[in-house]
Amino acid sequence: MSWFRGSVFSVKGMWQFTKGGFERARANFHDEEMTVACDNRVFIITGANSGIGRAIAEELVRRGGNVHIVCRNPDKCAETGRHLRQLNGSAQVTEHVVNMSEMSAILEFTERFKKVIGKLDVLINNAGVLLDEQINSKEKFDVSFATNSLGPYVLTRELLPLLEQSADARVITMSSGGMYNEKLDLEDIQSINKGFNGTRAYAQQKRQEVIMMEQFALKHPKVLFTSMHPGWVDTPGVERSLPTFYQMMKNKLRKPAEGADTAIWLSTVPRSHSGIVNGGFYFDRQSVSKHLPLAWTHSAPEEDAQLMTMLADFTMQALRTKGITEAT
C-alpha cells in the first residue's frame, strides 16, 4: 500500500504541485475575491526571513498590513524588516526574534505581544525545518517535532485570546503535500522510536498540523483555522534539505510568491466565500482532500483529540523543564 501511495503522490505532484500546475490553476483564480482590507489588520508570520514566509510578508506589506515577522536568526530578521519597509514606506513592520523550537521562548513572545500590541487578526504558522539527523532541543524534544508541531500548537493556543477579540480572525498553517504519505502515529509522535528519517518525520509533523487546525476549529469556531499545501517551491530550505530532489526538479519548482499565493488568499478572501471551510485543507485556492485515494491515512476522531492532549502535556513538560509551573 505504501508503494501505491507513493506512486499516486508522485503522479499527482508532477501534474499539480509544480509551477506548471500553478499556471493551470491560475487560469481559474478570481483576484477580485481578495477584498478584505489589510490596513488596520495585524498579522504575525513565522519563518518570514526567506522563501514562502518572506513572500507572504512582502505581499501583506504591499497591501498595507501591520506585519509582525518572527524569525530565529537576529541578523536575517533585521535584514528582512529593512527590506519590507523599502517595499512600502508607510507600512508597519515589526521584527521579533524567537526560536520556534523553544516553548519558553514562544511563551515569552506571546506574553509580550499580548501586553504591548494587544491585537491580532491573522496568524500564519509558516516556520518549519526538515533535518537529516535527530537533534534534541533545549527542552529535550526532537527539534523537528518542536519546530513543526509543538511550536505552532503553543503559539496558536497562547494567541487565541487576542484572535477571539478580532472581528475576522484567521490562523493559517503551512503544511506540505508530504503529509499525504503519513497517517497520524501517536505511538511515535516525535518520529524518533523507529530510527530517525527526516523526510518521514517532516511528513508526519505536517499531518499533525492539519489535524491540529481541525481540532482548533472544532473548539474555537469564531476563528477561521485552515492548513494548506504550497506546492513544490524553490526555497533555500528545499535546496538545503532535499538536494537530490532540488537538482532533479529545480526547473519545475514554483516561485516563492506562487507558493505563498494560497496563504494570501486565505488571509484576505471574505469568510463568506463558498469555498471557505473551517478546519479545511487548501491547495491553489481550493479546499482539497486531506488524503490520497485508498491511502489508508485516516485517523479516528478520538486519535485526533488525543493528539491535542499530548501536545498540551508536552507543553507542560517544557514549562517544568524551564521552572515554570503553569502555562500562561
CA dist 26 → 7, 10, 133, 258 (Å) = 26, 21, 37, 10
* Rounded distance between C-alpha atoms, residue 118 and residue 112, angstroms: 9
Torsion (CA) 142, 143, 148, 153 in degrees, nearest 10? 70
Grid coordinates representing 137? Answer: 532541543
The enclosing H or E element of 267 equals: helix 256-268
**CB contact at 8 A, 225 and 123:** no
| Backbone CA torsion sign across 229, 232, 235, 236 | positive
3-state secondary structure of 93: strand
* 149 DSSP 8-state letter: I
What is the Cα 38 distance to its own chain's centre?
20
Max intra-chain CA distance, the chain: 54
- The whole-angstrom separation of Cα 231 and Cα 216 is 24
The SS3 call for residue 34 is coil
Of the candidates 180, 202, 246, 282, the residue annotated as catalytic is 202
Cell matching residue 291: 488524503
For this structure, is 202 an active site residue? Answer: yes
Q: Length of the chain in residues, anyone?
A: 328
Q: Which residues are catalytic?
A: 202
